Structure 1
Amino acid sequence: MKVFLLTHAREFDRGNSSGALAAGFAPSIVQRVRWSRVEPDPVIIDLLRSHSAALVYPDNARNVEEGAGPEAGSCETARFDSFVLLDGTWQEARKIYNRSPYLQAALKVRIAREGPSLYRRRRNQQPGGLCTAECVIELFEAKGEQALAAGLASAFEVFNALPCKGG
Structure 2
Amino acid sequence: MNPNPPQNNAYQQLLAHTRQDSTRSYNGRGILVQRCLTCQLKNSHCICHLKSPVDQANMDFVLIYHRDELFKPTNTGKLIADIFPNNTYAFLWQRVDPPAELINLLTDPNRLCLVVFPADAASGRAIVTQPAINTNKRLTLILLDATWRQSRRMFNASKWLTDIAALKLNPKDKARYSTRSAHQDDYLSTVESTVLALTTCKQQTLATPLLQHFIHFDQQYVAMKQNKASCLPAKQ
The 1-side partners of 2:181 and 2:89 are apart by: 25
The 1-side partners of 2:183 and 2:174 are apart by: 10
Aligned to 1:107: 165
Q: 1:133 aligns with which of 176, 179, 191?
A: 191
SS at match of 1:84: strand
Q: CA RMSD in A?
A: 2.6
SS at match of 1:81: strand
| Residues 1-167 of structure 1 mapped to structure 2, 5 A cutoff | 1-49=59-107, 52-60=112-120, 73-75=126-128, 76-79=130-133, 81-163=139-221
Is contact 2:63-2:142 (8 Å) kept?
A: yes
The 1-side partners of 2:182 and 2:204 are apart by: 30
Higher relative contact order (CA 8 A, sep 6+): 1
SS at match of 2:202: coil
Give aligned-pair identity as a percent: 25
Q: What do the CA deviations read for 1:6-49 (whole angstroms, capped 9, x no partner)?
A: 11111111101110111112112232221112321334434445
Q: Which sections of structure 1, spanning at least 5 residues, go unmatched? A: 62-70
Is contact 2:62-2:90 (8 Å) kept?
A: yes
Q: Which sections of structure 2, spanning at least 5 residues, go unmatched? A: 1-58, 226-236
- Structure with greater helix share of residues: 1
CA 1:98–1:145 in 2, change beyond 3 Å: closer, same or farther?
Answer: closer
Is contact 1:48-1:54 (8 Å) kept?
A: no
CA 1:130–1:27 in 2, change beyond 3 Å: closer, same or farther?
Answer: same
**Normalising to structure 2: TM-score of the pair?**
0.58
CA 1:125–1:27 in 2, change beyond 3 Å: closer, same or farther?
Answer: farther
Is contact 1:121-1:163 (8 Å) kept?
A: yes
The 1-side partners of 2:168 and 2:94 are apart by: 23
**Normalising to structure 1: TM-score of the pair?**
0.79
The 2-side partners of 1:39 and 1:72 are apart by: 21
**What's the CA shift for 1:140?**
2.5
Count of residues paired in the alignment: 157
Q: What do the CA deviations read for 1:47-106 (whole angstroms, capped 9, x no partner)?
A: 445573111110226xxxxxxxxx971223334611211111112102212321122342
**What's the CA shift for 1:113?**
2.3
